[in-house]
Amino acid sequence: MGIKEQGQIFTPRHIVEDILEKADYKGKKILKKHVIDNSCGDGAFLIAFVEKYIDEYKRQQKTLEGISKDLETYIHGIEKDEKIYKDCIENLNKLLKEKNINKVNWDILNEDALKVDKYDGKMDYVIGNPPYVRVHNLKEQYKNVKEYSFCDSGMVDLYIVFFEIGLKMLKKPGILCYITPNSFYNSVAGEKLRYYLENNKCLKSLVDLGHYQPFEADTYTAITTISNDKEFRKCEYYKYNLKTEKPEFISKMRYEDIFLDGKIILSTYNKRYKKYIDDNKFVKQRVEVKNGFATLNDNIFINEKFDENINTIDVIKASTGQWKKCIYPYDENGNLLEFNQLTAKTQEYLIKNKEPLTKNKGKLDSEWYGFGRSQAIKDVYKTKISINTTIKDINSIKLNIVEPGEGIYSGLYILTDLPYEIIEQKICCQNFIEYLEALNKCKSGGYYTISSKELATYLNYEIEEEIKMNNKEFLDVIKQSFYKYLETHARSTEKLKILHGTIAKDIEKRIGSEYKICSLGLNEGKEYEMQGKYTKKKTDITILKDNDVKVAIGLKFIMSNYSQNSNNYFENMLGETANIRITNKPYFQIIILPSILPYFEDGGIIKKYEHISEEHLKKYKNLSYDNPEEYKHVPTRTLFYFIDIPHSDSIKNKKNYKNYYMKNNELKIKVNNRKNDFGPSVIYNDYEKFIEIVCDTIKKEKSE
DSSP string of 566-615, one letter each residue: HHHHHHHHHHHHHHHHTTT--EEEEEEEESEEEEE-TTSBEEEEEE--HH
User: Which residue, 510, 515, 512, 550, is CA-closest to 530?
Assistant: 550
Q: What is the pLDDT of residue 648?
A: 87
Q: Which residue has the higher pLDDT, 494 or 147?
A: 494
Q: Could you tell me the residue ranges of all domains in the chain?
A: 3-255, 288-464, 471-703
In this prediction, residue 2 has a pLDDT band, given cuts at 50, 70 and 90, of: very low
In this prediction, residue 108 has a pLDDT band, given cuts at 50, 70 and 90, of: very high
Q: What is the pLDDT of residue 361?
A: 63
Between helices 430-439 and 270-279, what is the axis angle to 10°? 80
| Average pLDDT of the residues in 96-108 | 94
Contact present, 259 and 379 (Cβ < 8 Å) = no
| Average pLDDT of the residues in 542-567 | 91
> 3-state DSSP: the chain helix, strand, coil percent, rounded to 5?
40, 25, 35
Q: What is the dihedral of CA 150, 156, 160, 165, to 10 degrees?
A: 60
Helix ranges (DSSP H) in 314-451: 344-352, 354-358, 420-427, 430-439
Q: What is the pLDDT of residue 523?
A: 80
From CA 587, how far away is CA 291, in angstroms rounded? 48
Which helix (H) or strand (E) segment holds residue 407: the answer is: strand 407-409
Query: What string of DSSP letters covers 80-98?
Result: --HHHHHHHHHHHHHHHHH
In this prediction, residue 664 has a pLDDT band, given cuts at 50, 70 and 90, of: confident
Q: What is the pLDDT of residue 79?
A: 95
From CA 407, how far away is CA 384, in angstroms rounded? 9
Is 6's pLDDT higher than 70? no
From CA 563, how far away is CA 660, in angstroms rounded? 23
Is 43's pLDDT higher than 80? yes
Q: How many residues does the chain have?
A: 704
From CA 677, how far away is CA 22, in angstroms rounded? 72
Q: What is the pLDDT of residue 3?
A: 39
Q: What is the pLDDT of residue 700?
A: 82
Is 624's pLDDT higher than 70? yes
Is 475's pLDDT higher than 70? yes
In the chain, the N- to C-terminal Cα span, in Å, equals 78
- What is the DSSP secondary structure assignment for residue 330, as one 8-state letter? B
Q: What is the pLDDT of residue 120?
A: 96
Contact present, 527 and 535 (Cβ < 8 Å) = no
Q: What is the pLDDT of residue 514?
A: 87
Is 279's pLDDT higher than 60? no
324 strand-pairing partners: 315
Q: Which residue has the higher pLDDT, 142 or 321?
A: 321
pLDDT in tens, 443-459: 888 899 999 999 999 99
Segment among 68-82, 127-141, 388-402, 560-574 with least mean pLDDT: 127-141
Is 214's pLDDT higher than 50? yes
Q: What is the pLDDT of residue 155?
A: 63
| Average pLDDT of the residues in 199-208 | 94
Is 336's pLDDT higher than 60? yes
Q: Is the dihedral of CA 9, 10, 14, 16 positive or negative?
A: positive
Mean pLDDT of the chain: 89
| Average pLDDT of the residues in 318-325 | 96
Q: What is the pLDDT of residue 157?
A: 81
In this prediction, residue 567 has a pLDDT band, given cuts at 50, 70 and 90, of: confident
Is 223's pLDDT higher than 90? yes
Q: What is the pLDDT of residue 302?
A: 96
In this prediction, residue 4 has a pLDDT band, given cuts at 50, 70 and 90, of: very low
Q: What is the pLDDT of residue 640?
A: 95
| Average pLDDT of the residues in 524-532 | 91
Q: What is the pLDDT of residue 575?
A: 93
- 3-class secondary structure for 204-224? EEEEECCCCCCCCCCCCEEEE
Topology of 3-255 in CATH?
A: Rossmann fold (3.40.50)
From CA 20, how far away is CA 30, in angstroms rounded? 11
Q: What is the pLDDT of residue 138?
A: 54
From CA 372, how far away is CA 391, in angstroms rounded? 28
| Average pLDDT of the residues in 297-315 | 94
Segment among 69-78, 131-140, 291-300, 677-686 with least mean pLDDT: 131-140
User: How distant, in Å, are the alpha carbons of 594, 613, 647 from that of 609?
Assistant: 11, 12, 9
Q: What is the pLDDT of residue 661?
A: 86
User: Which residue, 547, 520, 635, is CA-closest to 585?
Assistant: 635
From CA 29, how far away is CA 328, in angstroms rounded? 69
In sequence order, what are the residues at sequence separation of 6 or more whose Cβ sits closer than 8 angstroms to the Cβ of residue 241? Answer: 247, 248
Q: What is the pLDDT of residue 146?
A: 59
How many alpha carbons lie under 13 Å from residue 209 in its C-beta half-sphere?
Answer: 23
| Average pLDDT of the residues in 236-265 | 88
Is 8's pLDDT higher than 70? no
Q: What is the pLDDT of residue 642?
A: 94
666 strand-pairing partners: none
Is 1's pLDDT higher than 50? no
| Average pLDDT of the residues in 14-24 | 94
